[in-house]
Chains A and B, each alone.
Chain A
């Protein structure tokens, strides 16, 4: 599943990032395969998304989140 499908409060592990669509800056802030991600809060219409990636708190838009592949514990 992609990061965009994560529910509020849910956690997952990043498995892949589509490098063409993701700015380097996001990777530098810790959005890398293997790192844990949690959806802390969403704005109305679930966009942007307020995330906790490996201890760094940041917000990204849904259009970016669909390029980040994750796995959740239930899968």
Chain B
């Protein structure tokens, strides 16, 4: 078998690059990170005819090789590092047929790096609709490349792309533009200083802040003439480069592309007239949000109930079937309960990502950015902060990474700092189980009270984010130049395959990422709850039997008493009691205290922790919810989870910064421990105060 062909997929955002990636690789893909940074790395294997395989990397979308973000840097680093293991044998530039002119800018830059390049023109199904016709042979000649006209929507042309990948050695590596044209004398100097280097590559090294081959760069800088231009001059030259490139592209397209505007139709105008309207636009956005929350609540309750009862039954079955002993208990009470605590969230997380990916894929998200920019600016945010704040409802980690396209550092920093307030999917299980316990069923205007409570909690999270942004904006007083450019892509019907793959991949990431932590913590908790120091724990049976000797309890009542006595004197019970004074004013008992403390690793641990604590020593087949409903407040009597303590607990989770992974990402994105520590301290203190006030007012 021959070596795999390295292929890099490059293109502007919104060109269907990811659709091409999905069409080429199918399910043979994996998502990871580039070493040392949080930029997502998508790669996959594509099987080509005649037993050849291609290794395909889906690079982050970019408009040009002039990087202005970490994601875009990745593209340049990969293309400039000839010795890198992912250096492409062939680059595929994916472009959108409706925006060919703009897409070709990036294409000509890559050609000038003398990398064999295939031009894939996607969305060819829209040509007739838009009145576009292309002279492919002419374009191939002028651009010195091979072109595949494809449509991922109609599943056309992918075989041609595969064919071109196999024949990549036949591609011309002649550049499109003579780089010297940018500034003849400057480039002549460069050529003399570095006779063996590719001029355009040198130019990129000079103008970009790229990290690649640090030693390389030092060598360059040691040579005179290398940096003879000021920053403003360089920027002026970059602009000149852009103009030169567009001149070449316009010349090429003059003969290669004709657009008959008479036959062109435009759905965009009609849709935008309503969706970006001053009144309707906002109403529709609000309605969409309402629909999403109602759907998440209503649609996922059935599978969730099913999962909950199945795991309870499984745990019971294990206990009955396997021989008694520590291992059986660990399996039934620690591992299975812990697993149940992960699996139960799959339906909701899948639904949430389903909606988010539909909003993104359809092009609607950009309209929201447009609508919200002016409003968000008042709070020191950008319209682009809406995307992190909305995707923060799934998880703060990708949301914080999604702030990278915010041009202004101040707006970006504020967005990063406030995003953890939005209701992420890890808070959802806490809310859901408590809502089920303390909010009555019933409906108003067809919406259930429970769904409305959930919506309210989302609004509180969003309000906290925006409100704290306003305060930060006032006190930080950072003054930076702000640019705001957002592309408004065409409306597209989301492709089922893309949406399905996103949902699958994100859900998998949750189950395996968060799941590992939840499972590990569940097991640790089981040990801590099943063992304890001293006589009080070890002699629980004799102590209780003696204590209740006169009460004539039947066996099961006695066993219950023993179990709860043991739990109270286990390691976890002792720890829980230690923090109880701090949380009692909030209406919680020591068991909730344990759950809160373990939640500082990750919030989603809460339900699993309670499930583990409550299931230790209990013989009955019970769902998590029923066990929680049965808990009694040790001081006041009555259910432990009542309206006041329930609301207080939900508010605590709404505001507290309980996620180590988020803190780590904030540290990476802001490059300082200062910001995550502020977040942890301020948010958690605020959460405590609010929860305290809520409980004391409601009780």
A41 touches B68 (CB 8 A): no
B63 touches A29 (CB 8 A): yes
Does chain A have a CB within 8 A of B268? Answer: yes
A56 to B373, CA, bound (A): 20
Q: How many residues of A contact B (CB 8 A)?
A: 29
B278 touches A27 (CB 8 A): no
Interface residues of B in 404-446 (CB under 8 A from A): 407
A54 touches B268 (CB 8 A): no
Collect the chain B residues with CB atoms within 8 Å of residue A61's CB. Answer: 373, 482, 484
A29 touches B239 (CB 8 A): no
Does chain A have a CB within 8 A of B238? Answer: yes
Question: What mask results when residues 473 to 495 of chain B are scored 1 for a CB within 8 Å of chain A, else 0?
Answer: 00000000011111111100000
A58 to B272, CA, bound (A): 13
B488 touches A59 (CB 8 A): yes
Contact of B66 among A28, A41, A50 (CB under 8 A): A28
A58 touches B488 (CB 8 A): yes
A63 to B276, CA, bound (A): 20
Contacts known (A32-B243, A58-B487); A19 close to B374, Cβ less than 8 A = no
A55 touches B242 (CB 8 A): no
Contacts known (A24-B66, A43-B370, A44-B374); A64 close to B487, Cβ less than 8 A = no
A56 to B268, CA, bound (A): 13
A57 touches B374 (CB 8 A): no
* Shortest distance between the CB of B540 and any CB in chain A (Å): 67
Give the total number of A-B pairs whose CB atoms are below 8 A apart.
106
Does chain B have a CB within 8 A of A1? Answer: no
Collect the chain A residues with CB atoms within 8 Å of residue B121's CB. Answer: none
Residue of A with least CB distance to B481: A21
Collect the chain B residues with CB atoms within 8 Å of residue A29's CB. Answer: 63, 102, 485, 487
B242 touches A43 (CB 8 A): no
Chain B interface, DSSP helix/strand/loop, else mixed: helix
Does chain A have a CB within 8 A of B147? Answer: no
Does chain B have a CB within 8 A of A40? Answer: yes
Does chain A have a CB within 8 A of B246? Answer: yes
Collect the chain B residues with CB atoms within 8 Å of residue A19's CB. Answer: 235-236, 239
Does chain A have a CB within 8 A of B625? Answer: no
B407 touches A23 (CB 8 A): yes
A43 touches B485 (CB 8 A): no
B489 touches A50 (CB 8 A): no
A55 touches B101 (CB 8 A): yes
Chain A interface, DSSP helix/strand/loop, else mixed: mixed
Residue of B with least CB distance to A19: B239
Contact of A24 among B235, B373, B488 (CB under 8 A): B235
Residue of A with least CB distance to B246: A32
Question: What mask results when residues 293 to 313 of chain B are scored 1 for a CB within 8 Å of chain A, else 0?
Answer: 000000000000000000000
Does chain A have a CB within 8 A of B99? Answer: yes
Residue of B with least CB distance to A56: B102
A28 touches B278 (CB 8 A): no
Contact of B268 among A28, A43, A57 (CB under 8 A): A57
Does chain A have a CB within 8 A of B105? Answer: yes
Q: Which of A54, A56, A59, A63 gathers the greatest number of chain B CB atoms within 10 Å?
A: A59
Does chain A have a CB within 8 A of B371? Answer: yes
A23 touches B485 (CB 8 A): yes
B485 touches A26 (CB 8 A): yes
Contacts known (A55-B101, A60-B484); A27 close to B370, Cβ less than 8 A = no
B488 touches A28 (CB 8 A): no
Collect the chain A residues with CB atoms within 8 Å of residue B341's CB. Answer: none
Residue of B with least CB distance to A44: B278
Collect the chain B residues with CB atoms within 8 Å of residue A25's CB. Answer: 63-64, 66, 68, 483, 485
* Shortest distance between the CB of A46 and any CB in chain B (Å): 9
A26 to B493, CA, bound (A): 27
* Shortest distance between the CB of A22 and any CB in chain B (Å): 8
Collect the chain B residues with CB atoms within 8 Å of residue A64's CB. Answer: 483-485
Collect the chain A residues with CB atoms within 8 Å of residue B488's CB. Answer: 40, 50, 57-59
A19 to B63, CA, bound (A): 18
A50 to B371, CA, bound (A): 10
Residue of B with least CB distance to A40: B272
A24 to B67, CA, bound (A): 10
Besides the contacts A24-B242, A25-B485, A56-B99, what 10 more A-B pairs have beta carbons closer than 8 Å? A23-B68, A24-B64, A25-B63, A30-B101, A43-B370, A48-B373, A50-B488, A57-B490, A59-B370, A61-B482
- A-B pairs, top 7 by smallest CB distance, nearest first, are A57-B488, A23-B483, A61-B484, A28-B64, A59-B370, A41-B276, A48-B373
